[in-house]
Chains A and B, each alone.
Chain A
């Protein structure tokens, strides 16, 4: 990585090698068509017509070689044009044989060269493209011959198979390219965060630390010191990248540690505790609500969030050392219309298929025990 910027994400067409195969096939197939005509030239009534068709094939092979060698030519339109021209050339072979000869097995001068567009279509449109191209070529050949013999079935089945397989390979390659680009973007984001992190760690954080440490001594600056401490903890949390987890899941450890403040200590294993993303969001929201309750009803109390994973469930305990909730206070609050606790904590946990248990009493602080099954609701 350079010092001046993030990594450069270079766009590379991973399909390029497959396009080269398609182009090479066209050239080789043309040479084979010429050799085939030369070997069987006695089966043709004249020389001019087959040579004219072979010449036109050479020209078109040259055109598609140029088109398919450039990124701009590798598109559906080009392959459809290729298919059209190829079918026309196939139709033009009627001039090479007397009427009815194809029905009796006379050689077709275009030979396997006509398979080219099916392969190109497989590259731009995957399996469906390959199948469609191969079926059009199959139909055109059948129309020309007027019958379907063993040889035709064998050759054309092979063509369908190869075109579909090539289409499959193209689709997989395209997906791989997408994943690669996503990974590169994620890497660039992580690198950027690291760069920012270094800058913040060396600069802003140090000043916040200094403000906090010095402000403690004098009363009028105490508030400033407390604010500096809060921002310091929040910044450190933001800079935490956490371990990479599977798509669609959340590491509860990283998510909960973001809630740490000078008054809230978060504990849990160093290893990621993965839960489905929705479970993570809801659980963190419930913890937030519990902490908000503490901040509101027990100002100045300290709080602890403890993440305790087990084999089949995850337990999060939110505890504070405040005065606790007197007996009967919660039902009374609900009658007064405060539904915070029931809907935000108990409701969320019930939706997740888990449970929320509150232990409290005068002088005992409050302790929420939030339990969710590891698999999520069934």
Chain B
């Protein structure tokens, strides 16, 4: 059974999500109301999936995401966010979250997203595709030569995802296999996360926060 931890600073929301997930056969092994408790409890219970709200009262969901992903390589983080925090969503995904779902998604959509996250797939909403396209565009305009680039095909696929097309519809339109489309989509996220990790390590070394030998 897939184990899940729910992080949100509002008890009412936590209970609602917990109930929805339990009713669909998930085991909610822990809940947390702030970033600190989230990281501590995740290390204790090692859930398969952490459902993370970004607007936490104390501490940021982005930092909690980074810490959970760093401490627990097998735990995946699914960001559940209000539509109002686009920049935070992007940061959380770059920090290692596997996907993002808007809070207005239905209980069935949430259950489906948790299942796919547990299976190691990125949960790609149209909103996330739009954020990634924007981020690649920003990186391309920036001075960093080592920044990741999208191939033409990847850009095409991401654009169609951001317009709300399903992987199946994209495969039909571009005459590709369903699996190829999925791979393209996953690659765009992985490239960005990898780049982000490299950047963090470089920053840490440059600022004397880490020994180059550790990297």
Residues of A within 8 A of B (CB): 201-202, 206-207, 209-210, 213-214, 216, 229, 232-233, 236-237, 239-240, 253, 257, 260, 262, 265-271, 302-304, 306-309, 317, 319, 321, 367
Contacts and interface: CB of A to CB of B under 8 A. Distances in A.
A271 B16 CA distance: 32
Contacts of A216: 106-107
A307 B130 contact: yes
8 contacts: A206-B12, A210-B16, A260-B104, A266-B127, A267-B162, A268-B162, A304-B163, A367-B163
A239 to B, nearest CB: 6
In terms of DSSP, what is the predominant structure of the interface of chain B?
helix
Contacts of A265: 102, 125-127, 164
Given A209-B16, A271-B138, A306-B163, 15 more contacts: A202-B10, A213-B19, A257-B83, A260-B83, A260-B104, A266-B127, A267-B128, A267-B164, A268-B86, A268-B131, A270-B135, A302-B164, A306-B130, A309-B137, A319-B165
Interface of B: 10, 12-13, 16, 19-20, 55, 82-84, 86-87, 89-90, 102-104, 106-107, 125-131, 133-135, 137-138, 159, 162-165
B189 to A, nearest CB: 15
Contact of B133 (A232, A302, A308): A308
A319 B164 CA distance: 8
Given A265-B127, A266-B83, A321 B137 contact: no
Contact of A268 (B13, B84, B134, B165): B134
B13 A209 contact: yes
A201 to B, nearest CB: 7
Contact of A317 (B19, B90, B163): B163
Given A306-B162, A308-B162, A267 B127 contact: yes
Most buried by B among A236, A270, A308, A319: A270
Contacts of A207: 12
A209 B55 CA distance: 15
In terms of DSSP, what is the predominant structure of the interface of chain A?
mixed
A304 B134 contact: no
B111 to A, nearest CB: 12
B85 to A, nearest CB: 8
A245 B159 CA distance: 26
Contacts, number: 106
Contacts of A304: 126, 162-164
Contact of B137 (A253, A260, A269): A269
B88 to A, nearest CB: 9
A209 B103 contact: yes
A236 B134 contact: no
Contacts of A271: 134, 138
Nearest to A201: B55
A267 B131 contact: yes
B193 to A, nearest CB: 16
A202 B82 CA distance: 13
Given A206-B13, A216-B106, A262-B104, A237 B83 contact: yes
Contacts of A268: 86, 130-131, 134, 162
Nearest to B15: A210
A214 B107 CA distance: 10
A25 B19 CA distance: 79
A304 B89 CA distance: 19
Contacts of A214: 16
Nearest to A311: B141
Given A267-B126, A267-B129, A233 B13 contact: no
Contacts of B16: 209-210, 213-214
B133 A270 contact: no
Contacts of A309: 134, 137
A306 B164 contact: yes
A319 B160 CA distance: 10
A90 B82 CA distance: 74
A328 B164 CA distance: 26
Contact of B90 (A229, A270, A302): A270
Nearest to A317: B163
Given A202-B10, A209-B12, A306 B126 contact: yes
Nearest to A197: B84
A303 B103 CA distance: 17
A10 to B, nearest CB: 32
Contacts of A240: 83-84
Contact of A236 (B84, B87, B131, B159): B84
